[in-house]
Structure 1
Amino acid sequence: MDHRLLGLAVNPALPGALLDRLIAGADADTLEELAGRPDLTPAQVAALAARDEGAAVRLARSGLLTATDVDPAGQPGAALAMLAEGRGLPSWARLLAVDPAVEVRERLAACPGLPSDVVARLAADPEIRVVAELALCTTAEVAARLAAHPHAEVRRSVAVNQAAPPAVLTMLLTGEGLPPARWCLVCERETVPFEHDPHCPRPDCELPPGAACDAGHQSTVHAIQWAALANPATPPAPCAAFADHPSLLLRRELACRTDQSAATYARLAEDGMPWTRSTLAANPAIGAALQRRLAEDDGYDVRRSLAQHPRLPLDLLTRLAATGRIGPVLLPRVASASPVEVTELARSASPQVRMLVAQRRDLPDGVRDALAADPDAKVVASVAPHPGLSEAQLRAALARHGDRVAAAVAANPGTPAALLADLAHRNPPARKALREIARHPNATAPALQVCLTDLRARRSAAGHPALPPSVLTELLDDDDFQVVEAAAAHPALPRTVMARLVAGR
């Protein structure tokens, strides 16, 4: 893999003649990258599709290939891509449904709108993975039939399918009303009873961790229940019975659902595992009384998760800010706060609360300016990227708080070039600030030269429009492949250098 050519493949300034030469001689990775260019001519599209299947697939997905351009026998990948987009021909589906390659039939089974005879053939495929793939996204009628399939893995796929009838999902969840499955992935390969060793030494073993079967297919039954609980089309009533299930994974999945009764949520709030309670805490369906109860929970991450609740009472938000280890993030409740509430939060005696409201980027000018002059560095760091702050305000924040706000000042979209240059030349360097400067549109070449000294900042700096062509040429030999690709993709790369790269020199 030549990373210089991968970068050159997406360079918008690559001349057409060099693009033609690159198509003629590039490797598969570069050809697939070339297939994503927006400026391809019909002749270049045809040349790419003829040279590489991966490129043909990408061209098909983007709509640059039509049905007349694709031979399903010679390019099944491209044909499948078009069928997946709903632009393939029914005759392709019939041809691919009998393809000897299981992978082809499996990918076909995931395509929408297949002819009914193709669906029937795939539903009877001898390879279970093909039938299971079909069950994931097929129609309600077919899903209902496949729910009674003798292989438990197919039933698991039906449980994922949101088009499956609610009554069918209920049967899959409870195990009632369906004939027992005869096989699962475990018992069709191993002598039961069998439990998969989590440290299985067999290099060819394909069983998932935790796979087990004692003739009851228990690990797959568990997976079916988990899928049904995660499926929003499953009726809420049968789900409620899992609030006391021995499986943490099932209880936690129930805690994600937004259609349960207050009584069910109250039972989950008493769960012995913090993961269940922290999941419940962020559930937008729980009421204020339960929110207040969870605000007293000492379990790991419960209060921090509760802070993400979109309808959190403001007084609870204030309490959680001081105890929940929330950090500088824009919480849903803060994002939806009214103008009066924003003013109230910005005047809070708690710097943690002021830091949270400072994360908004639509603050009134007066609130924004007050927060920019806040005595607490974390508040200033939160508001410093806010549009509309003047250079004087940003410099004043930097003078008061130094490196603690340097990166935030550099992230402000209005930070002028002179201030970015000053930030870049701080001694010792503020590494996080360099990473912001490297992607700032106002950064100049001298500032970017400093950014190139930081291993992470140089990846962004290598693609910056202000970087001089001479520097770009040097970066083509960098040890970091991301830097190389960014430099090769730069529109300012000299054409002579582009020609040398295409020629392999």
Structure 2
Amino acid sequence: MHHLLCGLAANPALPSALVDRLISLADDDLADDLARRPDLSRAQAVALAGRVEGSAVRLAYEGRLTAADVDPAVRPDAALALLDRGAGRPEWARLLAADPAHERREKLAACPGLPADVVDTLAADPDVRVVAELALWTTAPDVTVRLAAHPHAEVRRAVATNEATHPAVLGALLTGEGLPAARHCPVCDREEPPFVHDPQCPRPDCDLLPGASCDGSHESTVHHTREAALRNPATPVEAVVAFADHASTMLRWTLATRPDLPREVCARLASDPTPGVRADLASNPAVDEALIRVLADDPDPAVRRALAQHPRVPLGVLTRLAGTTKVGATLVPRIAAASPAEVEELALSPDPRARMLVAHRRDLPPGTRDRLADDPDAKVVKALAPHPGLTEAQLRAMVDRHGVRVLAKVATNPDATPALLEELTRHEPPVRKAFREIARHRAAPASALLACLKDSQAGPMAAAHPALPPPVITELLTDTDWQVAEAAASNPSLPLAVMSDLAWHRG
């Protein structure tokens, strides 16, 4: 029965009086669904927060509760949510900075706009997790300068991640120069150095990362600090270039993602022995056309696949890539940015790979769209099938010519008619994915939805579709599949009398 109430709580047609009734019954799960309702009044939000504390946090984040609705001594987590949104009161921060639960102080440390005295209190917190969270989120450069010299290496790692950290400080964190040596790290806090954490550690309460180690120099945390600084866009490029030849694969891998790399660094990384490094470099906007052409011949398919996502890959190279690796069933950036002349050139290409690439666009000129709709290649037609503006006759012709290879994509077309969607459910052999697409299609008729109910994956989606007849929806409330029954309870076409019965007599 509980799953029916959860479905009902999500029903957009549920009257306000029945929302009140469900609030009076709410537990954590039911409150979560009720809190998502866009029509929840302020009075209802306050009542729900009073019933289930956890819902107060969501409601505060969504702006349904204000500072006037929250007492931080009674609902500290909701107060934290409002502070996190910048909608709390400064005195709350002072109160919560002394909260005995480190989790709350940690959450507070991530909030924006904290008073300076609260920042100072958190920076001196005895729990390093609180200080690290402050180091990660503060926007005050002077605070990051101070925390970059913190005795705990984990705080320094957080400073290296923070994009508000001064560039000179980030450079120092990369090399360690100019900073006092760290005295602690998460590893030596728990184990006597030298220690290397077993990746297959059997201790269920152990939270050390696999392979974490400390020989007194806190090497694994220092490594993570360098990785964070390399990833940080505020780190000066002149400070990172030396890492192109670093012994650590992970550091070179991280470096390969930076969009400000000089060409000579990109060239070194293009010959890196690790395919993952080359793959991340391949999609980096810093790579020029000459290196793109080198990477297009890379033996690793992941590199070529990543290169297809490069925003400036030449069209000829992209077409060749589509023939040697799986580019993906989505619109790639270079095709999205293609000029009208390039779009027409690709659409007229004798190479079906080029036509398939451009067929993923959803803004093709009508003439180009219609020509591709008649393409003899099924992959081209499959890419085009969801394009708006296609007629019922064109969509039927696609299915007639290419059958199961395009049927599911035809079912996603926003202009597919009810008659066509019903016909697709009767196709032999059936295409299961098509049932899921039809079940969520706004134009699906009742007859098609009844067919979708027979499919285990499409069934819950069909049960929630407002085009189902009310008697069928009511019957589905007793379906043996609880997901179908819950979806039926959420259906806005569920009769009002049935909604009332669920809320009042079965709650």
TM exceeding 0.5? yes
Residues 61 and 424 from structure 1, CA distance in 2 versus in 1: closer, same or farther, beyond 3 angstroms? same
Distance in 2 between the 1:219 and 1:2 partners?
Answer: 48
Q: Is the 8 A contact 1:459 1:483 kept in 2?
A: yes
Distance in 2 between the 1:173 and 1:45 partners?
Answer: 48
Q: Superposed, which structure 2 residues align to 1:282-321 within 5 Å?
A: 282-321=283-322
Q: State the shift of 1:2 in Å.
A: 2.5
Q: Which residue of 2 aligns with 1:504?
A: 506
CA offsets per residue over residues 245-284 of structure 1, 9 Å max, x none?
A: 1222111111100111100000000100110001101101
Q: Is the 8 A contact 1:451 1:458 kept in 2?
A: yes
Q: Which residue of 2 aligns with 1:334?
A: 335
The residue identity in structure 2 corresponding to 1:504 is: R
Distance in 1 between the 2:102 and 2:474 partners?
Answer: 47
The residue identity in structure 1 corresponding to 2:436 is: R
Q: Which residue of 1 aligns with 2:101?
A: 101
Q: Which residue of 1 aligns with 2:262?
A: 261
CA offsets per residue over residues 394-426 of structure 1, 9 Å max, x none?
A: 111111111111111111111111111110111
The residue identity in structure 1 corresponding to 2:77 is: G
Structure 1 residue 133 corresponds to structure 2 residue 139:
no
The residue identity in structure 2 corresponding to 1:26 is: A
The residue identity in structure 1 corresponding to 2:114 is: L
Q: State the shift of 1:349 in Å.
A: 2.0
Residues 30 and 401 from structure 1, CA distance in 2 versus in 1: closer, same or farther, beyond 3 angstroms? same
Q: Which residue of 1 aligns with 2:458?
A: 457
Q: State the shift of 1:16 in Å.
A: 2.2
Distance in 1 between the 2:2 and 2:434 partners?
Answer: 31
Distance in 2 between the 1:153 and 1:339 partners?
Answer: 52
Moved more, 287-296 or 55-64: 55-64
Distance in 2 between the 1:477 and 1:263 partners?
Answer: 67
Q: Which residue of 2 aligns with 1:52?
A: 52
Q: Which residue of 1 aligns with 2:9?
A: 9
Moved more, 254-263 or 484-493: 484-493
Q: Which residue of 2 aligns with 1:33?
A: 33
Aligned length: 505
Q: Superposed, which structure 2 residues align to 1:205-244 within 5 Å?
A: 205-244=206-245
Q: Which residue of 2 aligns with 1:61?
A: 61
Distance in 2 between the 1:316 and 1:96 partners?
Answer: 58
Q: State the shift of 1:428 in Å.
A: 2.6
Moved more, 11-20 or 152-161: 11-20
Distance in 2 between the 1:327 and 1:66 partners?
Answer: 45
Q: State the shift of 1:325 in Å.
A: 2.1
Unaligned stretches of 5+ residues in structure 1: none
Q: Is the 8 A contact 1:10 1:34 kept in 2?
A: yes
Distance in 1 between the 2:427 and 2:255 partners?
Answer: 52
Q: State the shift of 1:433 in Å.
A: 1.4
Q: Is the 8 A contact 1:32 1:52 kept in 2?
A: no
CA offsets per residue over residues 167-205 of structure 1, 9 Å max, x none?
A: 001111111111110000000110110000111111111
Q: State the shift of 1:34 in Å.
A: 1.2
CA offsets per residue over residues 275-324 of structure 1, 9 Å max, x none?
A: 00011011011100010111111123111111111111122112112112
Q: Which residue of 1 aligns with 2:89?
A: 89
Q: Is the 8 A contact 2:301 2:325 kept in 1?
A: no
Q: State the shift of 1:474 in Å.
A: 3.1
Distance in 2 between the 1:243 and 1:353 partners?
Answer: 35
Q: Superposed, which structure 2 residues align to 1:427-438 within 5 Å?
A: 427-438=428-439
Distance in 2 between the 1:450 and 1:412 partners?
Answer: 19
Q: Which residue of 2 aligns with 1:22?
A: 22
Q: Is the 8 A contact 2:42 2:65 kept in 1?
A: no
CA offsets per residue over residues 119-155 of structure 1, 9 Å max, x none?
A: 1001100001000011101121101100000000000
The residue identity in structure 2 corresponding to 1:438 is: A
Distance in 2 between the 1:269 and 1:143 partners?
Answer: 34
Distance in 1 between the 2:482 and 2:299 partners?
Answer: 45
Distance in 1 between the 2:291 and 2:481 partners?
Answer: 51
Distance in 2 between the 1:245 and 1:482 partners?
Answer: 52
Q: Superposed, which structure 2 residues align to 1:465-484 within 5 Å?
A: 465-484=466-485
Distance in 2 between the 1:16 and 1:211 partners?
Answer: 54
Q: Which residue of 2 aligns with 1:391?
A: 392
Q: Is the 8 A contact 1:309 1:332 kept in 2?
A: yes
Distance in 2 between the 1:206 and 1:504 partners?
Answer: 44
Distance in 2 between the 1:15 and 1:122 partners?
Answer: 46
Distance in 2 between the 1:485 and 1:250 partners?
Answer: 48
Distance in 1 between the 2:56 and 2:299 partners?
Answer: 55
CA offsets per residue over residues 99-123 of structure 1, 9 Å max, x none?
A: 1011111111110000111110011
Unaligned stretches of 5+ residues in structure 2: none
Distance in 2 between the 1:244 and 1:96 partners?
Answer: 47
Q: State the shift of 1:481 in Å.
A: 4.5
Give % identity.
63
Distance in 2 between the 1:408 and 1:45 partners?
Answer: 41
Q: Is the 8 A contact 1:328 1:355 kept in 2?
A: no
Residues 142 and 484 from structure 1, CA distance in 2 versus in 1: closer, same or farther, beyond 3 angstroms? farther
TM-score (norm 1): 0.97
Q: Is the 8 A contact 2:147 2:156 kept in 1?
A: yes
Q: State the shift of 1:480 in Å.
A: 4.6
Distance in 2 between the 1:14 and 1:301 partners?
Answer: 49
Structure 2 residue matching 1:256: 3-state secondary structure: coil
Q: Is the 8 A contact 2:243 2:252 kept in 1?
A: yes
Distance in 2 between the 1:310 and 1:46 partners?
Answer: 49
Where does structure 1 differ by over 6 angstroms across 4 or more consecutive aligned residues? none
Q: Is the 8 A contact 1:274 1:300 kept in 2?
A: no
Q: Is the 8 A contact 2:467 2:493 kept in 1?
A: no
Q: Is the 8 A contact 1:372 1:384 kept in 2?
A: yes
RMSD: 1.4
Moved more, 82-91 or 339-348: 339-348
Distance in 1 between the 2:212 and 2:330 partners?
Answer: 39
Q: Which residue of 2 aligns with 1:490?
A: 491
The residue identity in structure 2 corresponding to 1:316 is: V
Residues 480 and 241 from structure 1, CA distance in 2 versus in 1: closer, same or farther, beyond 3 angstroms? farther
Moved more, 432-441 or 101-110: 432-441
